[in-house]
Amino acid sequence: EPQRTKRQAISAEPTALDPSKLTDVTLTSYRKTKDELIQRALMDNDFMKHLEHGQILTIMDCMYPTSLAKGCCVIQEGDDGSTVYVLEEGMVEVTKQGKKLCTIGPGKVFGELAILYNCTRTASVTALTDIKLWAIDRQGFQTIMMRTGFIKHSQYTDFLRSVPSFQSLPEDILSKLADVLEETHYSDSDYIIRQGAIGDTFFIISDGQVKVSQQNSVNDEQVTVKTLSKGDWFGEQALKGEDIRTASYTAVGDVTCLVIDRDLFALLCALCRLQAEADFFSSVS
Ligand code: CMP
C-alpha cells in the first residue's frame, strides 16, 4: 500500500468523499475470469452483503488483479487503508498486536473495515503462501457507494415529477420527498395491495412489474386489468384521505416499490408550508 502519513491521509479523505469530485472519477472495468469467486466473496462478507446487488456487481467489475510473494505484509495494523481485497489463491494470516486472529483462504474479502468505516487498519494481514488477489482502491470503492446514492436520488425525483399530483411541487420539495421514500421489496405473487383493504400508502414501482386485478362482481373471479412497470405509480388517493383500495396489486417476479404514507406526506407538506411562510415573511420584513 502507498506509504502515507496519518495527517495526509486524514486531510485526503474529504476529497475522496467530496460529491462534486465524483464526476472526475473514471471507474475502470477489468475483464476477469473470476467473477463468480469475487461476487460470492463480496456477498459472503458480513459488512458488504447488505450492499445493493448493482453495487456488488460494479465493485466486482472494477477489481484489478495483483499478486504477492509468501511472507509479504499485505496490510499493516494502524496504517491508513487504501485497498479492499478478495483472496483468489493462497492463504493469509490476520494478526492484531502480534496475536493471531485467524487465517483466511480463497474466496474471502479482507481489508474492508478501514475503507467502510474510515478508520485505520484494525489488524495486520500477512501472506502465508504466494497469493493472488483482486483489489479495489478506496476512491473507486467510495465512488461506487456514493454514485449509487446520487443516481438513486435523481431517479426518485424523476419518478415523482412524472406523478400528476406532484408535478406542481417545487424542486426542493420533490427532492425532500425523494429523501423520505422508502424501498420495499416483494417476491413473485406477493400482494402489495388487496382490493377492499383500507390504505394509507402510495407506491411507485422502481423495479419489476405489478399486476392490477379486480374482482368480477358477477362471478367473483379475479380479472387482470393491466400490468404496471417501472416508473408507474398507484395508491395516490391514499395520500389525500382514507382510501378503500379498488383493485388488487400483485408482484410479477421480484418487485421494488418506493413508498410514502399519508402521515409522512402530510408532515412534509406542513413543513414545506411553514418554510414557504417563513420565506414570505423574511422577504417582506
Ligand atoms: P481492515 O481493518 O481494513 O484491515 C485489516 C483487516 O483484517 C480488516 O479490515 C478485516 O478485513 C480483517 N480482520 C480484522 N479483524 C478480524 C477478525 N477478528 N477476524 C477476521 N478478519 C479480521
The pLDDT tens digits of the residues spanning 133-171 come to 999 999 999 888 887 777 788 888 988 888 887 887 788
**ipTM surpassing 0.95, yes or no?**
yes
Handedness of CA 58, 61, 67, 70 (dihedral sign): positive
Query: What pTM, to 2 d.p., does this model score?
Result: 0.57
**CB of 137 shorter than 6 A to ligand 1:** no
- For 177, counting Cβ atoms within 10 Å of its Cβ (0-12 exposed, 13-18 middle, 19+ buried), the class is buried
Q: Which amino acid is at 26?
A: T
* Smallest CA separation from ligand 1 atom 12, residue: 110
Output the pLDDT for position 17. Answer: 44
**Ligand 1 center to 197 CA (angstroms):** 49
What are the pLDDT digits (tens) for 16-26?
A: 344 455 556 67
State which of 94, 117, 120, 121 you would mutate to test the pocket of ligand 1, scoring each by most atoms of that ligand within 8 A of its C-beta: 94
Is 179's pLDDT higher than 90? no
- DSSP state letters, 112-174: -HHHHTT-B-SSEEEESS-EEEEEEEHHHHHHHHHHHHHHHHHHHHHHHHTSHHHHTS-HHHH
What is the enclosing helix (H) or strand (E) of 55? helix 53-62
Q: What percent of the chain has pLDDT over 90?
A: 47
**CB of 125 shorter than 6 A to ligand 1:** yes
- DSSP state letters, 90-123: S-EEEEETTEEEEEE-TTEEES-HHHHTT-B-SS
Output the pLDDT for position 4. Answer: 29
Please give the residue that has the higher pLDDT: either 204 or 16. 204
**Ligand 1 center to 132 CA (angstroms):** 18
Is 280's pLDDT higher than 90? no
Please give the residue that has the higher pLDDT: either 189 or 46. 189
CA-CA distance, 26 to 4, in Å (whole number)?
Answer: 23
Q: Which residues pair with 222 in a beta bridge?
A: 215
Q: Minimal CA–CA distance to 59: which of 92, 80, 24, 32?
A: 32
**CB of 112 shorter than 6 A to ligand 1:** yes
**CB of 84 shorter than 6 A to ligand 1:** no
**Ligand 1 center to 89 CA (angstroms):** 18
Output the pLDDT for position 21. Answer: 53
